[in-house]
Every structure is written in structure tokens, then in C-alpha cells.
Amino acid sequence: MSRLRVDGKDVVVFQGVYPPSEDTFLLIDALRSGAAGGALELCCGTGAVGLSIADKLDSITALDINPIAVKNARQNYMNNGLSGRLDAVVGDLFSPLKKQSFDLIFMNPPYLLDEEGGPEDLSWSGGEGGRRIIDRFIEGLGGFLGEEGRALFVQSTLNGIDESLDMINGEGMVGRVVSKVNFQFEGLVVIEVRHRPPQKD
Ligand SMILES: C[S@@+](CC[C@H](N)C(=O)[O-])C[C@H]1O[C@@H](n2cnc3c(N)ncnc32)[C@H](O)[C@@H]1O
């Protein structure tokens, strides 16, 4: 187990759980403005992203397919005195959730291209093209995002930014890139999604 400070919070990282990294910090930065109400964090890992804004929220559902990550997130909320706001759930993306809507939804998914098709490491592998989770997220998002809600997710420039924006548009929502950081061979972006406002006649 390792320990670090993330945005003023104590975060422990259990063995086998994705440690807070560049992509985690990019999403934390993008969430600084406008966190309020009820939130959903998908692919929560240690829970560090949600934890960074948890004191501004009424409640947060943090979900991961890895039961150790969910245990880890619970521990981190408890260590920071915020477990009263947390509902931590094990599951595959939106599938364990009842019909409900959130003011804020965010996700740092596995998005790395994994073209060899070997045994997948769920914490980083986005499958061939890296869109294994991203596509399912965009398809399911509209049903859980409140009317005035906002969603933010991380992806790589190698995953196809236009592909995501076109899919978002096709699902009746509007997307835009709100942050970007460049590395030698790729960039990481945060895409913000909202419902498309009704057309005026
Ligand atoms: C890149 S890590 C991000 C962890 C954390 N949010 C962060 O930013 O540090 C991706 C996380 O997605 C989880 N994950 C992978 N596939 C999933 C799925 N189908 N449903 C829910 N979580 C999933 C992994 O277990 C892992 O914790």
C-alpha cells in the first residue's frame, strides 16, 4: 500500500489499484469549477478524483468493476471524514445503477490502446482503439445525466476526439474539449458533455 496527498486529501493506494497519475490530476483540475449536487464517478479506482470535490457535493456514487478499488475508495473517504456522502458500488459502468439522474458525472476510464489482444488489465486497457469503455459510456450517459447536468471524461488523442464528439452529438448531447495536456506521442483531453438545449422556433 502506498500513500500520497492529492489536492489536500490523504489518499492510500491498495495493491492492484490504479495509482493517481497524470490523467487523474487532469480530471481533478477540470472539475474545480462548478461541482455541486449529486455526483456519479465511474471507474473510480482509489476514489481520488471524487474525493477532491466531495466536500462541495451533497452525495457521490463511486463505482468500479474492481472490488479492491471500491474498498480502497471507501477507505479513502473514511480517512478524510467524508464517508457519509459516499455510496460505493462494484459494477460494470452504468449497469448496477437504478433509474436515477445526477448533476455531475465523471470518469477517467481505461483508454490505452491494447492491440495485441492479450489478457486485459482493466485499469488501463481500452482494447483495440482504446474505446472499449468510452463508447459504452457515451451510449449510456444520456439516461443518467440530469437535464442541466454536466459530464466530464478523460481520453487520449489516440482514441479519436472527433469520434467521441460525433457520437455525443448522435446521442442528442453536446461535447467540447475543456482541457488538454500534451506528451511526446499523445495528448490527454477532458471532454465535457451536456444535453443539447431545446431548439427555439
Ligand atoms: C485509469 S483507472 C482510473 C482510476 C481513478 N479514477 C483515477 O483517475 O485515478 C480506470 C479504472 O476503471 C476501472 N474499470 C475498468 N473497466 C471498468 C468497467 N467496465 N466498469 C467500471 N470500472 C471499470 C478499473 O478497475 C480502474 O480502476
What confidence tens digit (pLDDT) does each residue in 129-157 have? 899 999 999 999 999 999 999 999 999 99
Instruction: Compute, in angstroms, the gap from residue 123 CA to the centroid of ligand 1.
Output: 5
Closest protein CA for atom 19 of ligand 1? 92
* Mean pLDDT confidence for 164-187: 96
pTM for this one? 0.95
**Within 10 A of 56 (CB to CB), how many other CB atoms are there?**
14
The predicted pLDDT at position 49 comes to 98
Closest protein CA for atom 26 of ligand 1? 123
Q: What residue segments make up the domains of the chain, in order of their start?
A: 2-195
Closest protein CA for atom 9 of ligand 1? 20
98 and 86 in contact (C-beta within 8 Å)? Answer: no
CATH of domain 2-195: 3.40.50.150
* Mean pLDDT confidence for 36-40: 94
What confidence tens digit (pLDDT) does each residue in 47-101 have? 999 999 999 999 999 999 999 999 999 999 999 999 999 999 999 999 999 999 9
